Structure 1
Amino acid sequence: MADYLLVFCVTNPTRPPRSRLGRFVIPRPTPGVSVEGDYTLLAMNGAIVSHLKLGTSGSQRIIWSKI
């Protein structure tokens, strides 16, 4: 398992398609972050892609912040 998770997610769905993607590096043992499952993608042999759960839906809780 990795020590850090590289997360790509939609952070602002109202922005143009190429501007709505956020990228984050999150330490793996962060409270509120869990790996729900791994899966493979066609033509991405060797890459582990996972479904992550970040916090609780609707809680609007900041799970990690570094200023």
Structure 2
Amino acid sequence: MNTSAKQKNPDGWYSSDEILELAYHYGVFVSFGSDAHTPERIGDDWEEVRQHLKKIGFDKVVFFRERQRVEVEI
């Protein structure tokens, strides 16, 4: 999930709901990024994204530390 698209397109983020729903259906993990180019944009819209992902059915996001997947409940 990338929130940078909202800066260009007020209708939403990357990926689309259609893709996210397919990802959920097939058990694909999702991660969150703001593609920030300035410090104040780090974490843009995190709370909205968290609620949106939960609405689709996700209960966690992932990130990688030393090439190991880390799951974080949302």
The TM-score with structure 2 as length reference comes to 0.23
Q: Which has the larger radius of gyration?
A: 1
Larger strand proportion, structure 1 or 2?
Answer: 1
Larger helix proportion, structure 1 or 2?
Answer: 2
The TM-score with structure 1 as length reference comes to 0.24
